[in-house]
Amino acid sequence: MFDDGCGVKLFGTPVAKLPVTSPEDHLVMTRLQWGIIGPGRIAPRIVRALAGNPRGELRAVASRELAKAEQFAAEHGAPVAYGSYEELLADPAIDVVYIPLPNHLHAPWAIRVLDAGKHVLIEKPIALSAEDVDAIGAAATRNGRIAVEAFMYLHHPQISRALEVAASGTLGPLQLINGAFSFLLDHADDPRLVPEMGGGSIWDVGCYPVSFARRIAGEEPDAIAGLARFDESGADRTFVGQLRFPGGLLALFESGFAAADRERIEIVGRDATLVVEHPFLPAPDGPPPAVTLWRDGIAAPVEVESIDQYRAEVDDLQSAILDGTEPRVSLAFSRGNIATLVELRRLAREAADPARA
């Protein structure tokens, strides 16, 4: 076990010792220059996180279409727009690149960003195989740069609080983690429904409750079960999974594109249960945080601060780059998540149709 620097115990060996830039860099890099490649739906949240940020600012945005990059730059106050991702990577003024591309492009572009000498914040899921996470780690090491998966929810104080309560013994010995994340997705040409692009609910939203269960357990599962309803293209629309951890903790989760919005986590102990109602997208992008301790049928609200978790995610990476702190989400943690998701998906495919597993 090792400490992730945030008071949370992780496990295993880091994929790569995440390097920091040299001390001289620290002196000059006071306001990191950010670039975004692939400005889609989620990109404005990172723009928001950089607005008025004392340690970083948005410098450039790149799209496969120059006109789209120009429009995004004008709307969001980026001084520079590029008509290709390559041009942004060649801009020597850029220190950090945010990658909100479709899932199958995360690993290849992360490696290109690192090889261009820049740090990188990579949307979840960071890659579609554990080998690709290793390749990102190797690129980070050889270039002395930092790569982090954008699990924004892990930066919210409600999650830190839930982890503290679970570790404090207040709930009694932990028995079970129950997590859910689903929403309705039914426009056919969305990359999230294309298996070759890393489509399917397990990749898109199942990654959240799985990561939470692993974070609580502090170890990798030793038994996994997964079942799903797949569409004709092979993307799962509803997924249910179970994990067992060597320490005895059990976890179950569901993810989906076929039911209206729901997200929830329960940490079930022998003596009490902690419920986080909006664990992944609380305010300002969803309802206010709501954490409740249930004991003997009585609900006691747990006070938590409401913050912009995307801002906290950006600040965490900037601190890793400028101060040399350990990122809250290590590559070792991300690798374990991807390995678990790959196995869950394989098992569900096999159960649905052994010939296509």
Q: Could you tell me which residues are beta bridge partners of residue 161?
A: none
Min dist. Cβ of residue 255 to ligand NAP (A):
12
Euclidean distance between CA atoms 234 and 270, whole angstroms: 39
Interactions with ligand NAP, residue window 190-229 (CB under 6 A): 191, 204
Residue 89 CB, nearest distance to ligand NAP (Å)?
13
The least CB distance from residue 125 to ligand NAP, in Å, is 7
Tell me the residue type at 296.
D
CB-based contact 32:95 (threshold 8 Å)? yes
> In whole angstroms, how close is the CB of 350 to ligand NAP at the nearest point?
25
The CB-of-78 to ligand NAP minimum distance in angstroms stands at 13
**Spatial distance between the Cα atoms of 338 and 130, rounded to a whole number of angstroms:** 6
Among residues 105 and 291, whose Cβ is nearest to ligand NAP? 105
Largest CA distance in the chain: 60
Span near ligand NAP by CB under 6 A; candidates 61-69, 162-170, 171-179, 296-304: 61-69
Cβ atoms of residues 202 and 224 within 8 Å: no
The single residue among 5, 12, 19, 40 that binds ligand NAP, judged by CB under 6 A, is 40
Residue range at the interface with ligand NAP (CB under 6 A); choices 17-25, 62-70, 161-169, 241-249: 62-70
Q: Which of 277, 325, 319, 332 is nearest to 302 (CA)?
A: 277
| Secondary structure string (H, E, C) spanning 26-78 | HHHCCCEEEEEECCCCCHHHHHHHHCCCCCEEEEEEECCCHHHHHHHHHHHCC
Q: Which is nearer to ligand NAP, 14 or 108 (CB)?
A: 108
Q: Does the protein bind ligand NAP through residue 5 (CB under 6 A)?
A: no
Smallest distance from ligand NAP to CB 146, Å: 18
The single-letter DSSP state of residue 146 is -
Which of 30, 65, 36, 62 has the alpha carbon at shortest distance from 49? Answer: 36
Pick from 139, 150, 185, 251 the residue near ligand NAP by CB under 6 A: 150
Span near ligand NAP by CB under 6 A; candidates 102-110, 170-178, 249-257, 269-277 = 102-110
For ligand NAP, the binding residues (CB under 6 A) are 38-42, 63-65, 68, 100-103, 105, 123-124, 150, 152, 191, 204
